[in-house]
A and B are shown apart, each in its own frame.
Chain A
Amino acid sequence: MISNFINRKIFTLFKVQYSNMLEYRVEIALWAISGIIPFFMLNIWTNNNLNESINISDIMLSRYFLCAFFVRQFSVVWVVFSFEEDSLMGKVSPYLIQPLNPFFRYFAQHLAEQITRFPFALIIAFFFFIFNPESIWFPNLGILLLSIISTFLSFLIQFLIQSIVACLCFWTEKASSIERLLFIPTLFLSGLLAPVVSFPAYVKSWIYLTPFPYLIDFPANLLSGNETNISGGLSMQILWIFLLFPLFKKIWSEGTKKYTAMGS
């Protein structure tokens, strides 16, 4: 039954959303380019020799930031903004009376967008290697597979966090403002600006208890071949998904009772 659900509903949803995303290919190329923060950070780190203090070589650091770029490309989530707009414009109403949770639409939309992004991300990586030929490496198949899984889990965590925030639209019309509060820790604690290993010891003592290092730092370290606790990282990612999913279900079920179907 579940496989039928995935085959029929999710796969069709994904196909349709992919066709839709291809209509926006230029926009998606620009989004992909706009995600190059890790390369700026790499430049800051290497030009100031900051990596020496944390015992990471230039090559490993450049691989880390390239991987951070890739992980970010395939785990970026904007569901709160889409849901908020749809909710305010009354577009959620027709979806709510269909036998499929509307969040599956957003989920498929994100996956379709990631697939559309993929070639652009590869082109950016190609240029990165032209300018940094010493950073070229090929992760082994097992690590590559685990990194893909870990990136997908990172996407799931972010999708669930944002979906929970999106459900606050049922109480407050501007749930995206709450998401902005989450943007700061995501930016600083996820490893997008700096590998978590470079953080002071007292920060590291509690940061691993939050979901943030598992969003970018863990998958990026895994893919780039830096030393990391693979089973511990994957377990924490799965644990966060198991914690967030029931919370999402609860807030969704309570929120829909508050839905006023405004704008429709």
Chain B
Amino acid sequence: MVQNIIEVRNLSKSFDISSKEPGLKGTIKHFFRRQTKSIKVIKDISFEIKEGEIVGFLGANGAGKTTILKMLCGLIYPSEGSISVSGYLPFRRKENFLKNITLIMGQKQQLIWDLPPIESFYLNASIYDLDKFEAKKRIKKLSEMLEIDEELFIPVRKLSLGQRMKSELLAALMHEPNILFLDEPTLGLDINAQRNLRKFLQKYNKETNATICLTSHYMKDITSLCKRVICVQEGAISYDGKLDLLLKRLSPVKEILIVCRSEDDAIKLENFGFTVKNKIKNEITIKIENDSITSSLKTILNNFDIEDLFINEPPIDEIIGKILIKKNYDF
């Protein structure tokens, strides 16, 4: 049986935030009497993640996804509740725990800006107690997987964003962590670089059975990497389960464009009892629930003279977008 590697129970996080009224009066008031209020950004969440799983965290900006990742990797201290990652309390930042994890934040870099990435890699090797031989072996392996070579010897400031991101990834994975926390790892990358990064992560997960927690606003990252997603809305978990199931729930109907032989057939079909989205001459678009799609298509084909038929899947961005736009999406 696959073990839980991450266990989160009733986790909450509050931040003290100061607020200021606009204008000079507000500024003076703020200077003498600063008003702070405590905002609960994560509200009593619980979940488990199994070893080797890739889990996507979905949610609008400010929903709390990154805060959850930061607590899981021990960067910030939780206000309430408990977290266990690989058997450790993350915020204690024990050496063995830190050697097991990595956090990659899109656009935030750990590489030394004025030196070639290779210098940062050797530095990381010594920080993680890797000997030079092992470090060289890992750099070679990872650079091949990431398809970077000459870039290792060029100062970081002269690398493109994609090359830099790959180098960041190499630096973050040199110690072969078992758990990867990825916060918007493809942010700012072009389509090819995004695809390569996704391929790399899939390969890394397959080869090392690493657990990956990922946040991304690029739906392709989520759909191609994650079987399971956790939706975060205003600091609370609104959905935790399979991505397929979520998509079915969010998009329970399919649109079918039917091209009839004649306009008369289209009119008959319009009055047959289906939910019609629109009708233009002999073309009619109807909405059918996913569960009854086979039987409905059978009925249409048996009763009408059909020239052509197209089933349109709504774009995944649009479907997921629903939970990002609507504050309290009811699952």
Contact = CB atoms under 8 A, between A and B. Distances in A.
A94 to B, nearest CB: 4
B70 interface: yes
A8 B75 contact: no
B20 interface: no
Nearest to B123: A16
Interface stretch (A65-73, A96-104, A134-142, A182-190): A96-104
Interface in B72-125: 73-77, 91, 93, 95, 98-99, 101-103, 105, 108-110, 112, 114-115, 119-120, 122-125
A260 interface: yes
Contacts of B27: none
Contacts of B124: 98
Per DSSP, chain A at the interface is helix
Contact of A98 (B15, B98, B115): B98
B99 A99 contact: yes
Contacts of A96: 74-75, 93
A68 B91 CA distance: 44
Nearest to A262: B15
B101 A97 contact: yes
Given A23-B114, A259-B76, A99 B128 contact: yes
A98 B101 CA distance: 9
Interface in B157-193: none
Nearest to B114: A23
Interface in B33-79: 70, 73-77
Task: Indicate the member of B75, B115, B124 with the most A CB atoms within 10 Å.
Answer: B75
B44 to A, nearest CB: 20
B224 interface: no
Nearest to B122: A12
A95 B110 contact: yes
B23 to A, nearest CB: 23
Interface residues of B, number: 32
Interface residues of A, number: 27
Contacts of A23: 114-115
A100 B115 contact: no
A99 B100 CA distance: 10
Contacts of B99: 99
B289 interface: no
A256 B109 CA distance: 20
B122 A16 contact: yes
Contact of A16 (B15, B76, B98, B112): B112
A99 B123 contact: no
Contacts of A19: 115, 119
B123 A13 contact: yes
Given A16-B120, A16-B122, A93-B75, A99 B103 contact: no
A118 B51 CA distance: 52
A210 interface: no
Contacts of A98: 98, 124, 127-128
B115 A99 contact: no
B126 interface: yes
Contacts of A94: 103, 105, 108-110
A264 interface: yes
A23 B116 CA distance: 12
A204 interface: no
Nearest to B15: A260
A27 to B, nearest CB: 11
A100 to B, nearest CB: 5
B129 A8 contact: yes
A91 B105 CA distance: 11
Interface string A163-184: 0000000000000000000000
Pairs of residues from A and B, 4 with the lowest C-beta to C-beta distance, nearest first: A94-B110, A12-B126, A99-B95, A99-B98
29 contacts: A13-B123, A13-B127, A16-B112, A16-B119, A19-B115, A20-B112, A20-B119, A24-B114, A91-B108, A91-B110, A93-B70, A93-B75, A93-B103, A93-B108, A94-B105, A94-B108, A94-B110, A95-B110, A96-B74, A97-B101, A97-B103, A99-B98, A99-B127, A99-B128, A100-B127, A256-B77, A257-B77, A258-B77, A260-B15
Given A16-B123, A20-B112, 11 more contacts: A13-B127, A23-B115, A24-B114, A93-B103, A97-B98, A97-B102, A97-B103, A100-B127, A259-B76, A261-B75, A264-B105
